[in-house]
Amino acid sequence: MRRTIFYFSATGNSLEIARKIAKELGDCAIKPMAAQAPGEPAGGPGEYVGFIFPVFYNGLPRLVKRFVERLALNPETYCFAIANSGGTRANSLGMLEDILSEKGIRLWYAEEVKMPGNYIVGHQAPSSEKVRGILDAAAEKVAKAARAIAGGERKPVIRKAELWSKITNRSFLYKNINKWDGAFLTTGKCTGCGLCAEVCPVCNIKMEGRRPVWLHNCERCLACIHWCPCETIEYGKKTAGHRRYHNPNIKIEDIIRE
């Protein structure tokens, strides 16, 4: 029996969930959605395919949407999905289900998990104490979900605020997305280490004169801000003084694309 989990993770939350689920399933491949979708159809009779991703603007990240749209899937596959965020998950799972339904694929199991939020452009990241509490609670929920998935259980998507989620996702995530990264800047603390370019899931950063330059294909994941070892990257004035966050159980080596 083949099992595959596709994940998208900027600061490690989705990757930690993917690893916990994979451990329960056993003999499970974990693959990043930032990579190209496989050429051969995934899944098949008795096989599992999972999708684990963060919520962006009450819906699917653009990268996740494009990956799933391009992914070929065997209709007899047991598909599952887990969406995570620091706030509302809204109708992100419903959006995923719609894409799969168009392919004739059934989403057998869908779950939502609260994880520490990292969108510091809009709000402060949680304190280390709150992070520990959130991760402990998430671990229990993920363990329960992993057992259910391993047992082939069914948990349908609970659709919430469909129209509002669609409008919010489209209006705020996609609006001016090719210009959005123009507000990134670096302070004088930048050492030119280049880690920001290495963690970017879509190669949107290049180093020029030991300074990062954003290339206007940003996914708004904020991996560059959160993994900068000197905390030298800011998004205009919106992130000044805000705590940085990355999952304490994930190393930067796990995030850097191959």
Counting the structural domains of the chain, the total is 2
Q: Taking a C-beta distance cutoff of 8 angstroms, is the pair 195, 229 a contact?
A: yes
Nearest CA among 101, 21, 24, 25 for reference residue 53: 21
Domain that includes residue 104, residue range = 3-167
Length of the chain: 258
Structural domain ending residue among the three candidates 140, 167, 194: 167
203 and 112, same structural domain?
A: no
Q: What is the dihedral of CA 17, 133, 160, 3, to 10 degrees?
A: 10
Structural domain ending residue among the three candidates 134, 167, 200: 167
175 is a domain residue = no
Q: What does R_g of the chain's alpha carbons equal in angstroms? A: 18
Query: Tens-of-pLDDT digits for all 258 residues of the chain?
Result: 689 999 999 999 999 999 999 999 998 999 999 988 888 888 999 999 999 999 999 999 999 999 999 999 999 999 999 999 998 878 999 999 999 999 999 999 999 999 999 999 999 999 999 999 999 999 999 999 999 999 999 999 999 999 999 999 999 999 889 999 999 999 989 999 999 999 999 999 999 989 999 999 999 999 999 999 999 999 999 999 999 999 999 999 999 965
Look up the CATH number of the domain holding residue 237: 3.30.70.20
184 and 153, same structural domain?
A: no
Q: Taking a C-beta distance cutoff of 8 angstroms, is the pair 70, 38 a contact?
A: no
The pTM of the full predicted model, rounded to 2 decimals, is 0.95
184 and 67, same structural domain?
A: no
